[in-house]
Amino acid sequence: MTLDFLGTLQRTHLCGDLRSTHSGETITLMGWVNRRRDHGNLIFLDLRDRSGITQVVLDKEVSPDAHAKAEAARPEYVIAVTGVLRKRGEGLVNPNMPTGEVELVAHSLLLLNDAKTPPFSPAEDAIGNEEVRLKYRYIDLRRTEMQHNFALRSRVAMAIRNYLVSQGFLEIETPFMTRSTPEGARDYLVPSRVHPGHFYALPQSPQIFKQILMVSGFDRYFQIARCFRDEDLRADRQPEFTQIDLEISFPQMSTIFAVAEGFLRAAFSAAGIDLGTEPFIQMTYDQAITRYGIDKPDMRLPAIVDLSATLTPELRDTLKIDPTLPVLGFTIPSVGELSGTARKALLSEIRAFFGDSGLDLLDLTRLRTNETFAPLAEAISAKLSQELQAFHQASHNQQPTTNNPASDLAVVITPKPGTPALWNYDPQWIYKRVGALRLDLAKKFADKHKLFDQTHTAADFKFLWVTDFPMYEWNEETKTWDAAHHPFTSPHEEDIQSGALVNDKGSVRALAYDIVLNGTELGSGSIRIHRKDVQSEIFRSLGMTDEEAKARFGFFLDALEYGTPPHGGIALGLDRIVMILAGAQSLREVIAFPKTAKAIDLMVDAPTTVSDQQLRELSLRTVTRS
């Protein structure tokens, strides 16, 4: 088979755009053969480009030459077809495709390129084997779903750019090759050839640069910035990822919230979702922990309820519940009535989840059958259903899927006597354990409560600001207080004035905030420290001597001394936003060339070893560790 040259031929339309209004026009399409249906003297080719598919008809009587070439064509061959668009006759219309009312009657066909039989067909639905998909990513990306994901990503990014520019932001690029800062995530390092033994680091975020841009008077900066972190991966974590990074001079927290909400509305609107004008919900970190047991609450589910008040000391005693610790409960709606065996299995599953931590499940069903405890069971049920009603109202749920309270799964967790109030110096560990169970069970019963189902409306997306994060976190391993956010985050001004920075680090609140969507952290930011004296104080409070601080951040401390305005900002993960909008379960669905869980690029096969010559130039030697 000989391939044809393109010559001067130009394409006139895209496959997916053709409608009956085009009928009679002479049209040239170019694209990939999606499918071929050979009926002998009549051949149908489904021709695909990024816009969609059009059926091409090759009739031996119309053009023997084109028909012969179509006979040789195979899936994924690249062809050019010129012909006349025809409205399909009665009974020949395909209502399942947008172009199903027309077909292109080919007069000539060029075979522009052939194709080996692909390992999987882009014409099929997604295949399960991600290894193969990633190795042949160029074929995978031809699939309609992937084409949609990246068109969506492009639209979303553009909407955000346009919005931020309209709000007076300047897009400024910051270096990829910069300085290693050993705190936080591990850095990817780049050896310097010119300076043997010295390394650049790829940025974990443009944090210090954007703060210096505020010192430089740019007032409002943004960047759709690639960031790099050498940590283990997850479905929602890749070693290189993209952040919408911004910084504002002279802001209040509300200024930053308004900007972030503004560009999210623009982004969602670009995806066909109208988020309305209501400001996003806000809650403090402490509220998030006590109400949801996590710092990134999934607001698609009912909250945790503190049931301590329903229990008298006597009841606690007879039921063997710790007298001082909270009793917590929550509801998973519409689970349906569980059979005796299913209930028992769930019980032991929950008890296994808690292990020997001291937490236990209170069996409401059994409680109810006992005369002494029936009133308690009633009181607990009443409190839980009160919360459930508030939840349905707040989330504007249409009728809950069932109205039968017995079908809602009530889970009540009690601490046994002697359960430690602190685990790993964390007074909130009980809330966090119960919060984790809440998410586990919600995932388990997702097909029952359907609260995670997509309706492709604003109701699918529950946004939330979490504010007032703690400034410090106790690190039991090193016996030190670490910065919970990063060391440039400003504490509340009252907490500086009260001296808590020195006396009571655990109580210091940071002017730091996260934005959360459906239980996923989309981004976080803070009001920064703009005074040298406060910044030095924070470094000292983190156990850094002035000399160490100077060695690591001297340039930054210097910059702070030359007229730094109050400033603050935020960074949101673009990949995660697009992932949620696309309804995808993994970032790999919205990153064109992602890495595997072991941080390998299966297509280009990276990382690799390099030649001795390259190592010599960099003054590097590799050693094998046992």
Contacts to RNA by CB under 7 A: 35, 37-42, 44, 46, 55, 57, 59-61, 74-75, 88-89, 91-94, 96-97, 100, 103, 117, 119-121, 124, 127-132, 134, 181, 183-185, 204-205, 207, 229, 231-237, 473, 482-487, 586, 588, 596-598, 600, 602
Task: Report the candidate in 538, 532, 524, 536 with the shortest Cα–Cα distance to residue 492.
Answer: 538
Of residues 116 and 396, the one with the C-beta less far from RNA = 116
Cα separations in angstroms, 530 against 211, 221, 489, 521, 586: 9, 16, 9, 26, 38
C-alpha dist (Å) from residue 407 to 174, 333, 335, 474, 499:
55, 7, 6, 42, 52
Please identify, using beta-carbon distances, which residue of 74 and 343 lies nearer to RNA. 74
Half-sphere exposure of 546 (CA within 13 A, CB side): 6
DSSP letter at 397 equals -
The CA distances from residue 626 to 110, 185, 270, 322, 623, in Å, are 59, 25, 52, 49, 10
In the complex, the smallest distance separating the C-beta of residue 439 from RNA, rounded to whole angstroms, is 9
> From the CB of residue 535, how many other CB atoms can be counted at a distance below 10 Å?
22
Report the nearest approach of RNA to the CB of residue 95 (Å). Answer: 9
Compare residues 255 and 586 and give the one whose CB is closer to RNA.
586
Cβ at position 580, least distance to RNA in Å: 14
**Region at 30 (left for phi over 0; alpha for psi -120 to 50; beta for the rest):** beta
Give least dist CB 238 to RNA, A.
10
Total length of the chain:
626
Of the pair 163, 539, the CB lying nearest RNA is at 539
Q: What is the closest distance, in whole angstroms, from the C-beta atom of residue 427 to RNA in the complex?
A: 17
Residue 304 Cβ vs RNA, minimum distance, rounded to whole Å? 18
Q: How many Cβ atoms sit within 10 Å of the Cβ of residue 275?
A: 16
Partner residues linked to 223 by β-bridges: 245
Q: Three-state SS for 538?
A: helix
> Residue 311 or residue 572: which is nearer to RNA going by CB?
572
At its nearest, how many Å lie between RNA and the CB of residue 325? 21
Q: Which residues pair with 470 in a beta bridge?
A: 509
Give the residue with the Cβ less far from RNA, 105 or 328. Answer: 105
What's the min distance (Å) between Cβ of 371 and RNA? 42
Q: Is the dihedral of CA 395, 397, 403, 409 positive or negative?
A: negative
Amino acid sitting at position 227: C
Answer whether 528's CB lies under 8 Å from 207's CB: no
Q: How far is the CB of 489 from RNA (least distance, A)?
A: 8
Q: Which is nearer to RNA, 236 or 306 (CB)?
A: 236
Q: Which is nearer to RNA, 314 or 605 (CB)?
A: 605
Q: How near is the Cβ of 157 to RNA at its closest, in Å?
A: 22
Question: Smaller CB distance to RNA: residue 268 or 429?
Answer: 429
Nearer to RNA, 316 or 438 (CB): 438
Pairing, β 281-284 against β 189-191? unpaired
Say if CB 229 and CB 204 are below 8 A apart.
yes
